[in-house]
Amino acid sequence: MSTDGLHIRCHGVSKDFGGQLVLKDVTFEIRVPHVLALIGPSGGGKSTLLRVLGGLIAPSAGTVEVNSQVLAKVESGLASYRKRIGTVFQAYNLFPHLTALENVMLPLKEVHHFPDAEARAKTALSRFRLADHMAKRPAELSGGQRQRVAIARALAIEPAFLLMDEPTSALDPEMTAEILEVISGLRNEGRPLVLVTHAMGFARSIADHVLFIGDGRIIESAPAGEFFSAPQAPEAAQFLEKIL
Ligand code: ADP
Ligand code: MG
C-alpha cells in the first residue's frame, strides 16, 4: 500500500482520437499527499487525462511517470500497472447479472487470483455498510448503494491509488452527500485519490491540489486553497463564477 502520496510527472503528453487532439502537449509535475482534483469544462480532457494516469489508455506522444514508474507507451504494456489501480466511474460499471458480492469478487479472482477472494470481498462490502445487500443485483440496489459497491470493488484489490471520474454525477442530492462522505472517509487512510468532479464545494474541502483543464491543456495548476480563493487564469475564474 502506498502511503507517500502521489508524485506525477507528465511531459509533452498528447492524445489523439482519430485526428482529434484531445490532450495537447500536457506537461506538469506535482506531488500530492492525498487528493488531486481535475476540474474544468465538459469536453476539456479531464477523463482522458485520468485514463492516461490509470494506464487505461496510452498517450499518442509524451511520457508519464507515476511514483517513479515510467508508464509503457503502448496499451499492451500497461496491463500490470493498470492492475494496481482502483477505478470508479460515474455510471458504476457494475455487471448487471452479478450480485454485489460477485461484482466485488470478480477482479479479486480473475485478475488478482487471491485465494481468499470471497472473504476479501465480504470485508470490503461490510466496510461500506453493504453486508445486508451482498446477494442483490445492481438493479435491486439504490444509486448510492451501487456506487458504494463500485468503491468497495476498487478498494478490495488494495490499489496503489484510486481514480474516480465524476463519482456522484449520476446520483440525486441525498445519495451524492452519502458518497461524498464515503470519499472523505477514504482521504485519511493514506491511499491517494485522483478525482474528477463538478462538486466544487467538495473539491475545495477535500483536494490538496487542483489541475484546471480546458481544451486539452492544463490551464492552471495550483494548491486547492489558492485555486479556489484566487484563481489566476481568467478561464478558471470564469468557470468558478459560473458554477459556484
Ligand atoms: P471531459 O472529461 O473533460 O469532459 P473527455 O476527456 O471525456 O473530457 O473528452 C475530451 C474530448 O475527447 C471530447 O471532445 C471527447 O468527445 C473526446 N473523446 C474522449 N474519448 C474519446 C474516444 N474514446 N474516442 C474519440 N473521442 C473521444
Ligand atoms: Mg469526463
**pLDDT (tens digit, 9 = 90+) per residue, 48-59?**
999 999 999 999
CA of 170 to the centre of ligand 1 (A): 18
The residue whose grid cell reads 442530492 is 173
pLDDT one digit per residue (tens) for the chain, 244 residues: 445 799 999 999 999 999 999 999 999 999 999 999 999 999 999 999 999 999 999 999 999 999 999 999 998 899 999 999 999 987 768 999 999 999 999 999 999 999 999 999 999 999 999 999 999 999 999 988 999 999 999 999 999 999 999 998 888 888 888 888 889 988 878 889 999 999 999 999 999 999 999 999 999 999 999 999 999 999 999 999 988 6
Give the pLDDT score at 2. 47
* Alpha carbon distance 165, 183 (integer Å): 12
CA of 40 to the centre of ligand 1 (A): 13
* Alpha carbon distance 155, 193 (integer Å): 11
- Give the ligand 1 atom nearest the CA of 49: 6
All residues at 6 or more sequence positions from 204 whose CB lies less than 8 Å from its CB, including other chains? 224, 228
Q: What angle do CA 98, 100, 101 make, to 5 degrees?
A: 95
HSE-up (13 A, CA, CB side) for residue 25:
0
Give the pLDDT score at 244. 66
CB of 150 closer than 8 Å to CB of 93: yes
As for ligand 1, residues whose beta carbon falls within 6 Å of it are: 17, 20, 22, 42-48
**Global pTM value:** 0.94
* Alpha carbon distance 211, 149 (integer Å): 28
Which ligand is nearest the CA of 39, by number?
A: 1
Which ligand is nearest the CA of 23, by number?
A: 1
- Give the ligand 1 atom nearest the CA of 20: 26
Interface predicted TM-score (ipTM) over 0.90: yes
**Atom 27 of ligand 1 has which residue's CA nearest to it?**
17
- Cα–Cα separations (whole angstroms), residue 152 to 107, 182, 206: 12, 10, 20
Map out the domains of the chain as residue ranges: 96-154
Backbone angles phi, psi at 205, to 5 degrees: -80, -25
* Alpha carbon distance 74, 163 (integer Å): 20
CB of 84 closer than 8 Å to CB of 53: no
- Give the ligand 1 atom nearest the CA of 51: 6
Give the pLDDT score at 3. 56
